[in-house]
Copies of this chain bind each other. A is one copy, B any other.
Amino acid sequence: MVQQVCIEPGQVRKEAAIQTSAWVYHFYIMENEQEKHEYYMRMALEEAQKAREIDEVPVGAVIVFRDEVVAKAHNLREHSMQAYAHAEMLAIQKASESMHTWCLDECDLYVTLEPCMMCTGAIVLSRIRNLYYGAKDPKGGAVDSLIEIKTISRLNHHPKVTSGILAEECGAILTDFFREKRKKPKRDKNQFKITQE
């Protein structure tokens, strides 16, 4: 029995147009290096936004293998109660799971904030080919700030690093988050104090 589906001619044309333009858009992006990096960084920013919505420090990461996203993740330290649950670590973990290898030497990592020492170490260990990050982290960054990995010649792998992609937006989401945090009334230390009268 053939099921009859009613599609109006206009609807078909519209869907075809969206599909075509999405492909054209994707092709355009992949041909243009800077557009491509901003496209994936926006994806990482969406991940950061997810973290912010659940009151985690908003950092997001995306891993790309041959123009295909193999992992997306955001910071989950408080929810998982794990110090290692940074966006980059979780993304590397997911990518290794989906690619069945710890060696991600054909993968590129996009992350909204300069990776810390732990994440930089994991990037080196998993042989990530290119690292693209957004905002610098002068307090904890271990790629260019606290440590400059390019100066450690004895490291057995050096990812190619490109910084400053959508740096303003990547920094702003963090600044806003911490500004809001400071605004919230601090817990009154005296609220449970037993007073003697």
Contacts and interface: CB of A to CB of B under 8 A. Distances in A.
A1 interface: no
Given A80-B102, A83-B103, 11 more contacts: A77-B102, A81-B97, A81-B102, A83-B96, A84-B84, A84-B89, A84-B93, A116-B125, A139-B154, A147-B147, A147-B152
Most chain B beta-carbon contacts within 10 A, residue among A83, A89, A102: A83
Contact of A83 (B77, B81, B100, B102): B102
Interface of A: 77-78, 80-85, 89, 92-93, 96-97, 100-104, 116-122, 124-127, 139-140, 142, 146-147, 152, 154-156
A140 to B, nearest CB: 7
Nearest to A120: B117
Contacts of A101: 81
Contact of A152 (B84, B120, B125, B146): B146
Contact of A118 (B85, B97, B121): B121
Contacts of A127: 83
B155 A146 contact: yes
Contacts of A78: 102
